[in-house]
Amino acid sequence: MTHPFCTSVIRHLSTSAERLAVCIDTVDEDRLWVDFAPNLASPGNLVLHLAGNLGQYVLRTLGGSPSLRDRAGEFSDKPSKDRDALKAMLLERVDQCIAVIGGLGEEDLERIYAVQGSERTGFDILLQVSEHFSYHTGQFAWFCKYLFHGDIDFYRGRDLNVR
């Protein structure tokens, strides 16, 4: 049985990934890898950054995968991935992470891990990953609404006033 905290993290990552996929679909192919300011990563680079973070924290640190991360490259590389390939890569990474998270037990969550120069429990790592992914998903949604005038409504058709 999956730990209740892990179930919540999985649900949160899945929802954020679905929202990010909607956002990716609003970006024109010719703007996917365009940096709009010196300190503002392109939409494509932001997705690479999220995939890199998930790989380092979940797959490598919690899951024991030998994957390496090129964090600087996440912001500078401009691979030739089109929108569908980028989206598929991200969703595959999220699925890989969900598989790892679903297999964690209480002992794994309480264990201390070394990651990015600090020591954190499994609980801390999952909280950080969830918050980081959510933060950048919101950033991406704003980016797409403001720069691309994307019609992003994650709650379309739902009455949010229902209790």
Domain annotation covers residue 120: yes
Domain annotation covers residue 163: no
**Per-residue confidence (pLDDT) for residue 110, from 0 to 100:** 98
**Per-residue confidence (pLDDT) for residue 160, from 0 to 100:** 82
Q: For residue 56, what are the domain limits?
A: 4-148
**Per-residue confidence (pLDDT) for residue 133, from 0 to 100:** 97
Cα dihedral: 29, 16, 158, 83 (round 10): 10
Domain annotation covers residue 137: yes
Q: What is the pLDDT of residues 75-87, one digit of tens each?
A: 999 998 899 999 9
Could you give the CA distance from residue 133 to residue 2 in angstroms, rounded to a whole number? Answer: 21
Query: pTM for the full model?
Result: 0.92
**Per-residue confidence (pLDDT) for residue 107, from 0 to 100:** 98
- The CATH number of whichever domain residue 118 belongs to comes to 1.20.120.450
Domain annotation covers residue 155: no
**115 membership: H or E segment, kind and range:** strand 112-115
Domain annotation covers residue 74: yes
Tell me how many domains the chain contains. Answer: 1
Q: Which residues of 50-68 are buried (b: 16+ CB within 10 A; e: fewer)?
A: bbbbbbbbbbbbbbeeeee
**What's the burial of 156, exposed, middle or buried (CB within 10 Å: 0-12/13-18/19+)?**
exposed
Low-confidence residues of the chain, pLDDT below 70? Answer: none
Domain annotation covers residue 14: yes
